[in-house]
Amino acid sequence: MPRQPRHGPLAREGEGVSDRIAPKEYYSIGEVCEIADLKPHVLRYWETQFSALRPTKNRAGNRVYRPKQIQLVQLLRHLLYTERYTIEGARRKLDQLRAGGELAAQARVAWDRETIRDLRREADELVQLLEDGEAG
C-alpha cells in the first residue's frame, strides 16, 4: 500500500524521505509509527518484547520517543520484516550488536536501508504517474 502524504508535525513542503525525522527532542507514538511505517499496536507490542525500547511518558501519560529510539525501531523493523528474524532472534541480534558496540551503527544502517527502500517505492510511483499521464 503506498504511503499517504504526510500531515502534521512531520510534513514539510519539498520533504524528502530522508528528512522524515524533524529535529525534535521527543516524538509521539503516532509520529514514530508514521516514520517507521508501523501500526501503533505493533510498536506497543515491541515495547513488551524488547527491553531497549521503553519510551518515557510525558505529564499527560502519553508515550514519547527520542530519536535514538526511532533508530532502534527502524532496526527492529529491518530485522523482523526484511531479514525475517523471529522476536527471539532479533533479541539475540540486538544483544550481539550491543556487546560489540555496533548497535548505533547498525541502527543507522537500517535507517538508510529503509530510506532507500522508500525512495525506490516513491520513484516507482512517480514513473507510474508519468506513464499514466502519457497514456491518457
* Local confidence pLDDT in tens for the 136 residues of the chain: 444 444 444 444 344 434 555 578 999 999 999 999 999 999 999 999 999 899 999 999 999 999 989 989 999 999 999 999 999 999 999 888 888 766 556 666 665 666 667 767 777 777 787 788 776 6
For residue 126, the enclosing domain spans: 22-135
pLDDT score of 134: 73
Q: What is the number of domains present in the chain? A: 1
Q: Are 80 and 43 in contact (CB under 8 A)?
A: no
What pLDDT score was predicted for residue 105?
62
In a domain, 11, yes or no: no
Residue 1 in any domain: the answer is no
CATH label of the domain that carries residue 107: 1.10.1660.10
Give the angle subtended at the CA of 91 by the CAs of 87 and 92, to the nearest 5°: 120
| Beta bridge partners of residue 57, listed in sequence order | 63
The answer to whether residue 58 is domain-embedded is yes
Q: H-helix or E-strand containing 107?
A: helix 103-135
Tell me the residue ranges of DSSP E strands in 47-107: 56-57, 63-65
Q: Can you say how many angstroms the Cα of residue 22 is from the centroid of all Cα atoms in its chain?
A: 13
